[in-house]
Amino acid sequence: METQKVRTCFTITFTDDQYIQARSYVTDMKKHPKRVYWRGKEGKSEEELIIEQIAHRILSGFYNDDPLKAGRHIVRMDSMTTP
């Protein structure tokens, strides 16, 4: 099976509550430095980790229990294939 890489940039919106929840999650993960969560996150700022957590939840469907509401979170998506 051949795989391809696609670089995708999302423009998302999020609420203050979602930000607070993500910040709380990142704070909790700092108590567990050996978890798989930290792979590939070395050197990232706390703000980057929080925004990544929000994006992960939006794209994974945690906030998308209502299809009409889901469309409001992802404002724009730009993609391109990379060699």
**pTM, to two decimals:** 0.71
Domain count, the chain: 1
How confident is the model over 69-80, as a mean pLDDT? Answer: 66
CA angle 15, 60, 18 (to 5 degrees): 15
Which residues have a Cβ under 8 Å from the Cβ of 35 and sit 6 or more positions away?
A: 29
Domain that residue 66 falls in: 5-82
Q: Which two tokens stand for residue 30?
A: 């700092």
Q: What's the pLDDT tens digit per position in 11-51? A: 888 889 999 999 999 999 999 988 888 888 889 999 999 99
- The helix (run of H) or strand (run of E) holding residue 82 is strand 74-82
Which residues have a Cβ under 8 Å from the Cβ of 18 and sit 6 or more positions away?
A: 54, 57, 63
